[in-house]
Amino acid sequence: MKLCITVVAMPNRRKQKPMKRITVTVDPDDYAAFDRLAQEGKVTASWLIRRSMREFLERRDKDGIVALNIGPARRRAAGGA
């Protein structure tokens, strides 16, 4: 698989408002694949995640609907899986 990243100037929102930090727990295999994509594109995983989020939101705004098969929120039992 070959990754092609087109660098597009993204508006620097930092000048307008501070960035927010989030923590996401992901499957280790998914993280490894994402990290490889970032390395292949010579960007950070954080940049790639921010870009992916921005593209998702732009697509949602443009198309009006993005189908997500999201069920009810589940909480993990105390102490693990």
- Residue 3 is predicted with a pLDDT of 46
- Residue 17 is predicted with a pLDDT of 77
- Residue 52, domain member (yes or no): yes
Check pLDDT > 70 for residue 58: yes
- Residue 40 is predicted with a pLDDT of 93
- Residue 51 is predicted with a pLDDT of 92
Q: Are 45 and 38 in contact (CB under 8 A)?
A: yes
- Residue 47, domain member (yes or no): yes
- Residue 77, domain member (yes or no): no
The number of distinct structural domains making up the chain is 1
